[in-house]
Structure 1
Amino acid sequence: MNLIIVSYPEKPEIHFERILKNIARRPSPNQQRTRVNYERFQSGAERLRFIIRSTPTPSASSRTLLSHLDLVGHGNFGTKFTLGKYPIIEDNIIKQDIREILDGTLREETNENPGTIIRLLGCFTGSELSGHRMIQSVSRALGNREVLGVTTVVRAEDFDTGGLRTSFTHLISSKSSSPKRPVVIPVQTNTDPYKKFLQDGYTFVGFGHPIATTEHEIHMETENPSPPKDDKSKTIIFRYACNNHIITVTSDPSETPWIYQWSKQDPAPPPELNEP
């Protein structure tokens, strides 16, 4: 049994809304996966306790039967993880009230059963040394419970009625002995109308809505959008996130964003576009 808790910030963010829509969608007739329990979370340790304790428990036990607890929020290369309005992890330290709730309600590991595994789902939550340290620190604080982080771009489209798709495997465990660099998964496309505007080092990795907070925007007026549907000029919007490791690009509000990921070992450069 899985429980997925999705951030509900004060200002709605499209990726969280789309995740909830994907989870709530009616399964297709040939879909065998069991629907997960899911809730939104904005703030309050007691609210979190209520959500977790609302899941079924064995008789005469205060601990849940959950195999996985998925927390969907913003991480960005470790040190901090925000769920709802506020960080529940800062400087690699999980908030005491959150730790006490998770420690007191989640299934413990025994010889017969594994304990509840916690997954921190957001772009790059487990990447690099900083992300690896964060999931290991949280694991230690929770009695060495297994904690997983993400090592690449994770999108709203990576979720369905069963939660995170089983095809998404880019996770790192707190039990891993060494950190991982961000995983880049190039996607081939016949035409790429935006690549020419980006600095060398950005790779197209698909379409969708990354679980990441926009940190910077650049608006470019152009008469040659992707590809032009009419003769009117349009605005291309470049949105930078995760310390400029992610750029999403759109030229139409109804368009699914193009996603580019920084693929070099050097730090991602400041937001800047090439001349048209």
Structure 2
Amino acid sequence: MGIHLTVISYPQTIHPMFEAVALAANNQSSEHRFARCQNGGGLRLAIANSKPRGRDGRPDVSVLDLVGHGRAGYFKLGDEILIDNGKIRSGAVRELNDLLPRGATVRFLGCLTGDEDSGLQMFKEVVGALQQRIAVSTDVLQPWHFGQTGLLDDYRHLLLSSDAEETSPTQRHRNGVE
């Protein structure tokens, strides 16, 4: 089992939510790593710098949490819009296939990213583009949903894909990892 990497938005204009999450994330351990980034290039670097490496040479990341701004069908990490109107807008999203192991889980943790029709469209778009398991938030995220190891296990508002096929849009999973 690989590490749990949490990448927290670091926009040019400081945002209290991300600062609170970063402050709580003070448990850099062999199982949990935290990084800040401002754009897709920073995301690639955060993943590339994570250790250890798997047998395939990729960083051994089992869970990648992306903590950014969101609304239904929209996700922004730092100052870069990764997904808008339910469509992938940044090459950094598709590059996750090359950077992460196939069995990893990628969680897009922005407020309401998986909510409404556009959120479901975003979910389906990302599930179709990536080889990893995908989770998107269907509710508002607050600083207290995060602790020393990132997103707390009791946050239940995630829409999750499975390894083999997409799950029902109404299925929720306790912590996004099967």
TM bucket, shorter chain:
0.7 to 0.9
1:128 counterpart (95, 116, 133): 116
Which structure carries more helix by proportion?
Answer: 2
SS of equivalent to 2:70: coil
1:177 matched residue in structure 2: 168
1:164 matched residue in structure 2: 151
Cα deviation per residue 1:109-140 (whole Å; 9 max; x = unaligned)? xxxxxx11110112111112221221111110
2:64 counterpart (42, 59, 69): 69
Alignment partner of 1:95 is 2:85: no
SS of equivalent to 1:107: coil
Flag the structure with more relative contact order, 1 or 2, with Cα contacts below 8 A and sequence separation at least 6.
2
What CA distance in whole angstroms lies between the structure 2 residues aligned with 1:168 and 1:89? 23
User: Which blocks of at least 5 consecutive residues in structure 2 are unaligned?
Assistant: 172-178
1:2 matched residue in structure 2: 4
SS of equivalent to 1:67: strand
Q: Offset of 1:13 from its aligned partner? A: 0.5
Q: Offset of 1:168 from its aligned partner? A: 1.1
2:37 counterpart (41, 53, 56): 41
Cα deviation per residue 1:24-82 (whole Å; 9 max; x = unaligned)? 169xxxxxx97620111112x333222101112124x232221111001111112x210
Give 1:103-252 correspondences, 5 Å limit: 103-108=97-102, 115-143=103-131, 145-174=132-161, 175-179=166-170
Amino acid at match of 2:154: S
SS of equivalent to 2:64: strand
Greater gyration radius: 1
User: Which blocks of at least 5 consecutive residues in structure 1 are unaligned?
Assistant: 27-32, 109-114, 181-276
- Number of residue pairs the alignment of both structures matches: 164
Distance 1:96 1:76, change over 3 A: closer
Cα deviation per residue 1:197-239 (whole Å; 9 max; x = unaligned)? xxxxxxxxxxxxxxxxxxxxxxxxxxxxxxxxxxxxxxxxxxx
Instruction: Please report the TM-score for the alignment, with normalisation by the length of structure 2.
Output: 0.83
Alignment partner of 1:54 is 2:69: no
Distance 1:53 1:170, change over 3 A: same
Amino acid at match of 1:57: R
